[in-house]
Amino acid sequence: MKTQNPASFLSEVALQVNSLFYTFTGKTNENSIDIQEVYKVGQDQPIITGHVGSWNLKDGLQLSDTVMWERRKDLGGLKLSTASEHASA
């Protein structure tokens, strides 16, 4: 079976920056599995993938020590609009 980049078959999926969507790609010649997170920072933005861990027979499950929001802190220039309202007591 041919390995595909997650972005190639997930281009139409509605992913968000807080998505908990992961892909697991087996490497039969190494008896291991690569774990990648998949998300978008905006609806019209490209899919972003990042390595978060792996599993193999020798070492077991190895996950990144970096928390999700630290890994995803670069919003790639996305502009945010905010508003606030002050309420008097």
| pLDDT (tens digit per residue) in 64-84 | 999 999 998 888 777 778 898
* Element housing 19 (H / E): none
Would the pTM of this model clear 0.75, i.e. be above it? no
| pLDDT (tens digit per residue) in 23-52 | 999 987 878 999 999 998 888 888 889 999
Query: Domain spans of the chain?
Result: 6-71
Q: Which residue has the tokens 């978008």?
A: 40
Instruction: Locate all alpha helices (DSSP H) within 1-89, ordered by sequence.
Output: 6-9, 68-71
The conformational region for residue 76 under phi > 0 = left, psi -120 to 50 = alpha, else beta, is left
Q: Encode burial over 13-30: b for 16+ CB neighbours within 10 A, e otherwise.
A: eebebeeebebeeeeeee
